[in-house]
């Protein structure tokens, strides 16, 4: 759960943080703008893989549901072991849904795109 939270923070921050600026130094508006920029870049990449707008909308819905599920797991889970077990089940379900929407090959390509984007982000360099 903690790794996922960190990944999501890096995921949203990775788009174009100025080298002298930390994510925590940004205002809520700046964070929102960077998240929107990252989403636009991701949407363009996914369109390049041949996904249509309906698929992109479905992916957004799956991701919103997934994040809200993780939030509920964090709030209501009795202990870390239970939270981890539930989060693994939710993650597996999300992966299955994404495979159905975009296909396993495109999902693997998108995961690699995200991994590369995160590794090359200024924030990742700060975490080393």
Residue (of 92, 78, 89, 70) closest to 3 by Cα position: 70
Report the chain's mean pLDDT, rounded to a whole number.
82
Residue 39 burial (CB count, 10 A): 14
Global pTM value = 0.70
> pLDDT tens for residues 55-89?
999 999 999 999 999 999 999 999 999 999 999 99
Q: What is the pLDDT of residues 10-25, one digit of tens each?
A: 454 444 444 446 767 7
Query: Distance between CA 82 and CA 58 in Å, rounded?
Result: 29
Task: Say what the pLDDT of residue 6 is.
Answer: 44
Angle subtended by helix axes 28-48 and 53-76, to nearest 10: 130
- Indicate the range of 30-44, 45-59, 62-76, 103-117 predicted with least confidence: 30-44
């Amino acid at each position: 759960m903690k790794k996922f939270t960190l990944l999501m923070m890096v995921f949203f921050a990775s788009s174009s943080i100025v080298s002298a600026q930390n994510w925590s130094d940004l205002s809520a508006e700046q964070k929102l703008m960077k998240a929107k920029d990252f989403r636009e870049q991701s949407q363009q990449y996914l369109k390049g893989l041949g996904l249509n707008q309906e698929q992109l909308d479905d992916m957004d819905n799956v991701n919103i549901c997934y994040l809200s599920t993780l939030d509920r797991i964090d709030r209501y889970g009795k202990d870390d072991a239970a939270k981890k077990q539930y989060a693994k089940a939710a993650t597996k379900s999300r992966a299955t849904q994404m495979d159905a929407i975009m296909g396993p090959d495109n999902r693997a390509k998108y995961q690699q795109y995200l991994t590369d984007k995160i590794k090359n982000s200024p924030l990742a360099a700060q975490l080393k």
